[in-house]
Amino acid sequence: MSVSTPLTLFLTQLLGPPPTAVQTWWTSAQCLQRQRGQPLIRAGEHWRHLWWVERGALRLYYLDRDGAESNKNFFLDGALCWPMTPTLRQQPVMFHVEPLEDSVVWTLPFPADADAPLPSAGWAPWAALEHRALCALLDGKMQREQEFLQLSARQRYARLLEQHPAWAERIALKHLASYLGVTDVSLSRLRSEMGLIKG
């Protein structure tokens, strides 16, 4: 039996006892300690790892042609994220990922050959996890599109408070504003109008 780590314990609780090949793969995970602002990955690099945030907060963001940042997602304690499609594993990414606070992140490498199957291929619990994650990703993108097309900035912020209360508590206002597509000044004004003191 291999030595347990916080990641293997988390994955076993989530997926059940793994087959031998998967258990061997899990033991290749490494624990990274990243300070706030220390990049986990930069645009132009290859993303071939699963990440699990044991403790901390990450943000995924893009830079536009003028160098302005646009936040697309946040990953807090307990979050799993990985390149779920072959294209994401094969081509350089166009986004950046960095911690918003000092973080402990476990990184589990995928095979060096981006076309090679994962050691977990054919394991039903992993396939079910991938399916749930893909569905959640698609649902999230569709909801985000609907929000930007049909909701006001105030309505978008109210929904964020409802669905992601931890974000509002731990993520700086300027990053939330970028995610919502408004300026931090506008978001501060909205918070004042909504009777929210903190800001």
Helix axes 173-180, 184-193, angle to 10 degrees: 100
The answer to whether position 167 is within a domain reads no
Domain count, the chain: 1
Q: Which range (2-6, 122-126, 136-140) has the least confidence?
A: 2-6
The answer to whether position 33 is within a domain reads yes
pLDDT for 52-70, tens place per residue? 999 999 999 999 989 999 9
Give the confidence band of 199 by pLDDT, cuts at 50, 70, 90: very low
In the predicted structure, residue 1 carries a pLDDT above the cut 70: no
- Distance, CA of 80 to CA of 58 (rounded, Å): 11
| CATH number assigned to the domain comprising residue 44 | 2.60.120.10
The answer to whether position 177 is within a domain reads no
Q: Mean pLDDT across the stretch 126-136?
A: 95
What is the model's pLDDT at position 130?
Answer: 94
Give the confidence band of 136 by pLDDT, cuts at 50, 70, 90: very high
Structure tokens at 141: 């993108």
What is the model's pLDDT at position 2?
Answer: 59
What is the model's pLDDT at position 73?
Answer: 96
The answer to whether position 65 is within a domain reads yes
The answer to whether position 132 is within a domain reads no
Domain around 22: 6-123
The answer to whether position 158 is within a domain reads no
Q: Mean pLDDT across the stretch 157-179?
A: 95
In the predicted structure, residue 4 carries a pLDDT above the cut 90: no
Q: Is residue 2 helix, strand or coil? A: coil
The answer to whether position 149 is within a domain reads no
The answer to whether position 147 is within a domain reads no
